[in-house]
Amino acid sequence: MKLPLASALCLSLLAAAAGSACSDRAPEVHVIAPVSLSGDRIQVRGKSGARAEIGPDGALSIDGRPVALAPAQLDASRRYYVQAMGMTQDGIAVGKAGAALAGKAVGNVISGLTQGDTESIERKVEADAKEVERQALRLCERMASLRAAQDELAGALPAFQPFAVVDADSVNDCKK
**DSSP result, 105-118:** HHHHHHHHHHTT-T
Q: What is the pLDDT of residue 9?
A: 43
**Closest-CA residue to 160 (of 89, 88, 91, 70):** 70
Q: What is the pLDDT of residue 147?
A: 94
Amino acid at residue number 105: A
- pTM for the structure as a whole: 0.70
DSSP 8-state assignment for residue 81: H
Contact between 163 and 149 under an 8 Å Cβ cutoff? The reply is: no
13-48 pLDDT per residue, tens: 444 444 444 344 445 555 577 888 888 999 999 988
Spans of the chain, pLDDT less than 70: 1-31, 108, 118
84-97 pLDDT per residue, tens: 998 888 888 777 87
